[in-house]
Structure 1
Amino acid sequence: MPEALLIVGLLVAVFVGYNIGGSTTGPAFGPAVGAGVISKATAAALMSVFFFVGAWTIGRRVVDTLGSDLVGDPGVFTLEASIVVLLFIGLALFVGNYAGVPASTSMTAVGSIAGLGVATGELQWTVMGEIVTWWIVAPVVGFWVSGVIGRYVYPTLNKWVALHSTEGALVEVDRSGAIPRPVRGPNTSDKEIAGATVVVFIGCVMAFSSGTSNVANAIAPLVGSGELEMNPGIVIGCVAVAIGAFTIARRTLDTLGNDITDLPLTAAIVVATVSSAIVVALSLLGIPASFVVIATMSIIGLGWGRATRSVTVSEVRKGEESPRVSVGALAADEPGEAAPEIGEEGPEDIPQASDLFDPETTGRVILMQNVVPLLSTVGAYAAFTVLYTFWW
């Protein structure tokens, strides 16, 4: 019986890891894929490698602590309880991935464990309150920082960086020699290569960060129960994440790279920089970083800021008491083309807001990212209440 339960637990852990790969690949590499820098397959490969590095090095520390910080008695993580916790994590994440919306694995996992803690009376409310507070503050910061950049700084930043996704591939494979080697695409500039490198690098950093925290969401209950050793657990979790990155993550890559907002290369750099900086700051504070939500809100914030840019005429006509204001003007995105002076935009410089920011998709994303953790929390609480009352 214990062996059969362990097999069930491993299968559920793999299911959780599969959905982690689906939900975290989009926020890490969605900007790069949306900007046409790398393909979905390359994004999945990079996610797999750097997730494993993060999990193998720092992630084991999170595995050791996840089961003891939120619950007063780690003994509640029996094999049966661990399976139930993992099951609700996996099912909730699957709902988000099926809807094409990447949900936070940290929020979902903590929610499921919190459901166990409340049902058994072992939840540490102080720790939970601190974590939830940062989960609320961090996405808001990401949205407004990116929104301010998009609304007031983006045109100047784009002029400095002068990045634009040219037609054709950034890099091609030269097969003329004995050994194939990568070469620059026919229309690729030095600045475009540099910008693409930055976007991919930051995505790799985010994938590494995901590995340090999210591998625990898949295996911590089983490791904490003593039924699974640390190193085999990390390998199993990372393989499952890789499978998810190559399969179901394609839906979340579409959502974060294309559906929410149009992301030229400069915008991709902004989103990746803002979201990764916030994730690193939260990690330094010891808070499980919900970088899925932070990155998503950064993308939404930048799209909203660019679509609602305020422009004020610098010269007030004689006899007028206040300057004229127009809303929605944006600078041109073509490399080498100077941004028009504020107040001097022409009709060609003012795209429709719907071209840069999709409110319908945005609403769906925000709704699902709140519903998914709620599903794991309420479901786990209800299940453990029933189990501890009538069964265990």
Structure 2
Amino acid sequence: MDALKRKLVFNETLNESRKIFQNQSITSIENLSNEIFYEIFDYFDGGEIVKIFSKLNSRFEQLLHSSLILIKTHFYLFYYEEIMNKDHELEIFSNKLCTNLKILSINCSQNIIFLDAHRWEQLILHYYPQLEKFYLTYYDGINNNNQYPIYTGPVNQFSSSFWIQRKWIFYVKIDNTNIKYSIYPYKKTWYNYIDDNNIEYSTSTSLIFTNLRTWSYDEMIFEQIKRVLTITQIYHLIIIEEHSMHLAIQLINLLPDLITLKIHSLPSNEITSFTFEEFGIVGSFKSLSKIAKVYIEEINDIHDLDYITLLCPRMKFFQVKRFNINIQFCLRTLLKVIYNNDICSIRSLCFDVPTMDDEIIQNFDTMIRSEKLLFNYTIKHVYNKIYLHWK
């Protein structure tokens, strides 16, 4: 409801209330109808309703548990401090809930207890047994002392069998100082695009970075990652914007469980000179890295391929969305590197092309065969993508 409409409705409600008072000589708010209170409740979120009207008297207690606003207040009541210490009181809701609810979406913040996955499991199992889609968003922000709320729960709560069976996946997004934790139903991703029959939902948690350019220093980013790792392991890293190699090295090093990496691009004008520490970190990737699939939005320079293989030396699948250099030259260079590197793990390539026809496929195939860049390979196109695979 937009602001103007809300104002008009609210004024109408007040006018109606005045008329009731004038016509019926009402001298107490208790005598207002439930419908008027429902109109008033519409201007507050669930948390505000509970804090303002809970425990006033039996009349308001009944209103709070009314089926008309139950979905709005139930989750706040469930986590409300007094009720949290008396779980058995939840039984008063059992006969009044929408047990046939199919879709549920919750947005919350301020209280870290909302990341207690076990309580969400209890709530859904007992009161929403037919729930098919669940959307949860929790906004985790720093306080005036630049500190995040203390989290004391176990790691990976949202990766239990309860969430895996329902294919409800945990995501984390870092945007400046804000961290957003989300649960929503699984959607096909780039790394499962071809084969989504053997998806490991237990390792589906992703971390998304945005607005990296606005950062004046990296230390806060690293503190945020450490914060996230107290709550969940991260298996997929997505960096929305262009970023430096130095930052990429540190991020990958802090996230040892990564199995996929998706980045926008690498800076084409950056002169990369690694520190002694960075050389050591990059060297460890050769034996410790678990990143098997890599996606880069843009290739701006042929040297980008060198940097990608440095960051992810054990990748098996490499996908590029857009080439800002000659695609055939880039493919030839990459295959020559693979051909001359016995320890290279890449076995599949995927390239997006603006248009797709048999001639393009034929040109790539001819180049590979004539220059003997690969043996025992297959090449095909799916929509506007070329897939190249070899043993």
TM-score range, shorter chain: under 0.3
Structure ranking higher in strand proportion: 2
The structure having more radius of gyration, on CA atoms, is: 2
Structure ranking higher in helix proportion: 1
